[in-house]
Structure 1
């Protein structure tokens, strides 16, 4: 259980921050970039949730927000052993598999793609969240072998989920916004 009595600690005033194991790293470290991008993605998902009426997608995204806090804890835990334990929170294969099941279920209810989809329509906030998740994925990749492979798989699958969820939301609102190649030449 997390208990914060005081929000500011002044320990980051020198440009460093603490990790789960007590070590300190620069706030410019690749690990911190990944953690910040995941946090931004989580916030963007929160904005998307606020504008959605589909209860199922809202519930899925709320679970994902919780997973993203797990992912943040995973990224904040240095080490080469990516096994979860009582004291170490790691992204696990079951979290990745759940996303895949949800992607498949959502995708079954949208028509096959016949064009690239523009990031717009009723699901514009989901498209923005997807783009931010893609940046977070690049940041996790930049961590190299310091990143849990399951964390990388999760963030990769999450962008797929957000794409398919955006299609499902737009389908309920009249369909995807489609790219028309060369339309403005």
Structure 2
């Protein structure tokens, strides 16, 4: 009986080889062709490169979108600060300047969006120079700033403090794009000066509304006063 099984198995295997088929082998798959391995390896290399490249583009796009979104948020909060100042019983002298800043931020957003098309735009240095002049103009009307001013001092003042914080975030977003070489460094410098301007104007707002600035006092100093 065993001999008959052996003979039958041998006949089946011979027929399989004659028809160029391979018999199934237990605990092993078909042995792949070396050329197929090399070809598949090259495809994998190409696929890997493609994934890395696509990821790089996606990350850059996300950074650009973050910068645009934060700048939009900044523009909106500056608009809110303008409305609070307009609603005050006292005239706030900086309203036209805030509106001008909003227009420039629209230009900045356009420049950031163009970087997606690999068309970086130059950012005019004059915008930064204007901010520096405005900062000097208003700083001369104020006492020297304390080390830390707690946000508050009226709605206009508080909203400008929020705008300043958003401006610092926008600056960080744009700085990352500057390091990648996709946007002009002047845009980063402008946002840095803008945060200083918003801080200075927030103090002017508190002064116009006759609100006292809240100064941060370390706990140790509070205990000493008691």
Same fold (TM over 0.5): yes
User: Could you tell me how far 1:177 is from its partner in structure 2?
Assistant: 1.5
Number of matched pairs: 155
Q: Which has the higher contact order (CA 8 A, sep 6+)?
A: 1
Assess if the C-alpha contact under 8 Å between 2:111 and 2:120 holds in 1: no
Q: 1:104 aligns with which of 124, 128, 136?
A: 136
Q: 1:68 aligns with which of 96, 105, 109?
A: 105
Q: How does 1:5-154 map to 2 (within 5 A)?
A: 29-52=62-85, 53=88, 54-78=91-115, 79=118, 82-83=121-122, 91-122=123-154, 123-143=157-177, 144=179, 145-154=181-190
Q: Unaligned regions of 5+ residues in structure 2, if any? A: 1-56
- Normalised to the residue count of structure 1, the TM-score between the two structures is 0.76
Q: Provide the rounded CA distance (Å) in 2 between the counterparts of 1:73 and 1:184.
A: 49
- Give the structure 1 partner of residue 203 of structure 2: 167
Q: Provide the rounded CA distance (Å) in 1 between the counterparts of 2:124 and 2:61.
A: 27
SS of equivalent residue, structure 1 residue 98: helix
Higher percent of residues as helix:
2
Q: Provide the rounded CA distance (Å) in 2 between the counterparts of 1:114 and 1:159.
A: 17
Assess if the C-alpha contact under 8 Å between 1:118 and 1:178 holds in 2: yes
Q: Provide the rounded CA distance (Å) in 2 between the counterparts of 1:127 and 1:159.
A: 9
User: Could you tell me how far 1:169 is from its partner in structure 2?
Assistant: 1.2
Q: Unaligned regions of 5+ residues in structure 1, if any? A: 1-23, 84-90
Aligned-pair Cα RMSD in Å? 2.2
Larger-gyration structure (1/2): 2
CA gap of 1:146–1:27, structure 2 versus 1, over 3 A, is closer
CA gap of 1:36–1:181, structure 2 versus 1, over 3 A, is same
Assess if the C-alpha contact under 8 Å between 2:120 and 2:182 holds in 1: no
CA gap of 1:81–1:140, structure 2 versus 1, over 3 A, is closer
